[in-house]
Amino acid sequence: MGKKKRGETVMEISEWEAKLERARGSKDSFFAQHWQSPIPAQYRLQFKGLEYYPPDPSYRFELELYEHPEKQAVRMAYTKGNEQDFLCWGEFRFKIGEKEQALQAYRSNPQEEMLFVPFRDATSGKETYGAGRYLDLEPERNHTAEGKWILDFNQAYNPWCVYSEAYTCPFVPTENWLGVSIQAGEKNYSLKLDRA
């Protein structure tokens, strides 16, 4: 999807949008009711759902991963001061508007199949969380039949440390700071503002 491709139908876009909205509804229910919700128990009754940008297929890409021949270790600092090494596995290249962009994808170890893609963009600290957002790409969910990865910014989410100080989350490496706006996915969490 992304920019509308030849052969793509309105039905495909509407099915994609419906699936996205269902996933967002399920996440809201989990956050509001589940005992493992990152929302502190005393605030769950006030929780009215997460805020999102409207679904936008122009922020969905099907991309080749340019895998790095040597997987360099990148030490990511966490919000509580701890650190963890990740392997910089490869690079995604795409365009926002007419501007070429690149994001590094990471794995916590060589056996892991999921790719972790943290990023900041021009909305960070304004409409979205200041420290950035994340994408988790899983082969069974984010692979096309042609072997490309689906990088869908509509699925960008906030780290759980946004909701509670009980969690610690990695900061986005500077190589994944984008100069453009990614107006897709989760917006900043505002329940804290409602407490005043």
Q: What pLDDT, in 10s, does the model give residues 130-145? A: 999 999 999 999 999 8
| pTM higher than 0.85 | yes
Indicate the domain borders of the chain: 10-194
pLDDT at 196 over 50: no
pLDDT at 5 over 60: no
Residue in this structure with the two tokens 């946004």, named with its chain if needed: 162
pLDDT at 172 over 70: yes
pLDDT at 37 over 50: yes
3-class DSSP assignment, residue 56: coil
Give me the residues paired with residue 177 across strands: 120
Q: Amino acid identity, residue 71?
A: K
Q: Given this model, what pLDDT does residue 190 score?
A: 77
pLDDT at 191 over 70: no
Higher-confidence position of 43 and 190: 43
Cα–Cα dist 77/128, whole Å: 20
Find out whether 74 and 173 touch, Cβ atoms under 8 Å: yes
Find out whether 36 and 76 touch, Cβ atoms under 8 Å: no
